Amino acid sequence: MNIRKRIIEDLQLRGKRVIIRADYNVPLDDSLQITDDTRIRSTLPTINRAVDEGAKVILCSHLGRPKGKFDPKFSLAPVAKRLQRLLGKEVTFAPDCIGAAVEGLVAKMQPGDVMLLENLRFHPEEEKNDEVFSKALASLADVYINDAFGAAHRAHASTVGITQYIPEAAAGYLLKKEIEYLEGAVENPVRPFVAILGGAKVSGKIGVIENLGKKVDKVIIGGGMAFTFLKAMGLEIGQSLVENDMLDFAKGVQDHAFSSGVKFYLPVDCVVAASREPGAETKIVPVQEIPKGWYGLDIGPASVKLFSEAVQDAKTILWNGPMGMFEVDAFARGTLAMAHSVANAYALTIVGGGETALAIHRAGESESISFISTGGGAALELLEGKTLPGLAALPNRQA
């Protein structure tokens, strides 16, 4: 599919100051070392394009939730260091994202130079989409490129406000790719189209279930949300996670699937534990035999087999949400097994970011997936059919 928004290739960048909104909200360990630099690597094509064109490249991002004030543990300094290594050239690190000191550094930039601004969220005005803050950011550059898919569902100063004060704006390569895969899969999928939905809660995926339910050929439900569906069918689910106010919705989704010819899969067995504590007694039981007081925490081997067979003939697979409490080894098998099944399918495979991306990574299957989204919340909203504010703020391409 062709993205309707203007993209970086549509603009002349030579000699211009180009501010690129990236998503460098990367995981850091206790010693502030980056543990996964996927998000940094994924912005390299856009940065390199601007550098090659002879632009002065100014990068901006948020990291974590510093709540509007300076906090050294949320500094982007480690990102500047990693970027320098990945780009193979010097990256200047600015002490702030607006103000006289930053303006002075920008004024000294030469074509091809790269600078990273300090965390946008050290200013409360960023999340408030404040007009004065937006103008201050915009004053640093002539061109704005949004390449931060992970933040495109937020109406913040650096994703929305800034676009009103910079004459030229466009999407970067990463944003373009995310839209093409996620919107393209839903709007015009190669069939059979299978959606695998997991994670804890039905309520967090209502929009996705409703939107995709009309478009898929098969839907597979796993994770904590499966127990709401099982309870809606009248089964005993013990102490498993359940949303009682979602029971009617779950029943309606299932009824709609059956009436419209969509194949609907729920777990047939699960791994249950006497408690949620590590080392608690576990066993595998059919879903009809979950003991009272026990917790369902993963799909069982029969469910893995059933779900794996369901994706075998797929031509498009979209997966969002783990199959169980996969952060605990004892309950990770279902999710990891599905990661292998999805990776081995002869299909276009798309993984919605967040925990699912982490699971794919842990299973060692990242290279075998067609596309792994960098944005959890943004991917969900796009799959719900919602308009992302950061995308809506960009101009459309000229017809």
Q: Could you say which of 152, 176, 200 is where a domain stops?
A: 176
The verdict on residue 338 lying in a domain is yes
Q: Which two tokens stand for residue 244?
A: 């009682």
The verdict on residue 396 lying in a domain is no
Active-site residue (options: 5, 6, 39, 205): 39
- Identify whether residues 120 and 223 lie together within a single domain: no
Cα within 13 Å of Cα(16), Cβ side: 21
Active-site residue (options: 64, 68, 207, 377): 377
- Identify whether residues 164 and 196 lie together within a single domain: no
- Identify whether residues 90 and 163 lie together within a single domain: yes
Residue in this structure with the two tokens 């970011």, named with its chain if needed: 353
Q: Give yes or no for a contact between 172 and 20, defined as CB atoms under 8 angstroms apart.
A: yes
Average pLDDT, the chain: 94
The verdict on residue 1 lying in a domain is no
- Identify whether residues 193 and 340 lie together within a single domain: yes
- Identify whether residues 233 and 202 lie together within a single domain: yes
Active-site residue (options: 198, 213, 296, 354): 354
Number of structural domains in the chain: 2
CA distance 116 to 58: 6
What type of residue sits at position 101? Answer: A
Point out which residues pair with 56 in neighbouring strands. Answer: 17
- Identify whether residues 169 and 195 lie together within a single domain: no
This prediction has a pTM of 0.88
Give me the domain span that covers residue 226.
189-383
The verdict on residue 337 lying in a domain is yes
- Identify whether residues 210 and 332 lie together within a single domain: yes
CA distance 183 to 352: 12
Q: Give yes or no for a contact between 299 and 267, defined as CB atoms under 8 angstroms apart.
A: yes
CA distance 209 to 198: 11
DSSP 7: B
Element (H, E) at 332: none
Active-site residue (options: 201, 215, 305, 315): 201
Q: Could you say which of 146, 176, 206 is where a domain stops?
A: 176
- Identify whether residues 247 and 151 lie together within a single domain: no
pLDDT tens digits, one per residue of 324-352: 999 899 999 999 999 999 999 999 999 98
- Identify whether residues 118 and 234 lie together within a single domain: no
Q: Which two tokens stand for residue 363?
A: 């299973």
Q: How far is CA 85 from CA 20, 31, 119, 210, in A?
A: 19, 19, 20, 44
Q: Which two tokens stand for residue 50?
A: 């601007």
Q: Give yes or no for a contact between 297 and 324, defined as CB atoms under 8 angstroms apart.
A: yes
Q: Please check the confidence at residue 2 and state whether its pLDDT lies above 70.
A: no
Average pLDDT on 6-26 reads: 96
Q: How far is CA 84 from CA 80, 114, 122, 194, in A?
A: 6, 9, 23, 40
Q: Please check the confidence at residue 399 and state whether its pLDDT lies above 70.
A: no
The verdict on residue 130 lying in a domain is yes
Quick check: is 201 catalytic? yes
Best CA proximity match to 60, nearest among 128, 138, 125: 138
Indicate the pairing of strand 282-286 with strand 269-273: antiparallel
- Identify whether residues 60 and 160 lie together within a single domain: yes
Share of the chain above pLDDT 70, in %: 99
The verdict on residue 388 lying in a domain is no
Q: Please check the confidence at residue 251 and state whether its pLDDT lies above 60.
A: yes
> Which domain CATH number covers 270?
3.40.50.1260
- Identify whether residues 354 and 289 lie together within a single domain: yes
The verdict on residue 115 lying in a domain is yes
CA distance 263 to 191: 13
The verdict on residue 395 lying in a domain is no
pLDDT band at 98 (very low <50, low <70, confident <90, very high): very high
Q: Give yes or no for a contact between 150 and 178, defined as CB atoms under 8 angstroms apart.
A: no
What pLDDT is attached to residue 135? 98
Q: Please check the confidence at residue 385 and state whether its pLDDT lies above 60.
A: yes
Quick check: is 184 catalytic? no
What pLDDT is attached to residue 206? 85
What pLDDT is attached to residue 219? 95
Element (H, E) at 124: helix 124-127
pLDDT tens digits, one per residue of 256-306: 898 999 999 999 999 999 998 878 899 999 999 999 999 999 999 999 999
Quick check: is 354 catalytic? yes
Mean pLDDT lowest for which of 25-34, 62-71, 177-186? Answer: 177-186
pLDDT band at 235 (very low <50, low <70, confident <90, very high): very high
Distance of CA 265 to the CA centre of its chain: 24
Quick check: is 161 catalytic? no
In degrees and rounded to multiples of 5, residue 383 shows phi and psi of -70, -20
- Identify whether residues 349 and 226 lie together within a single domain: yes
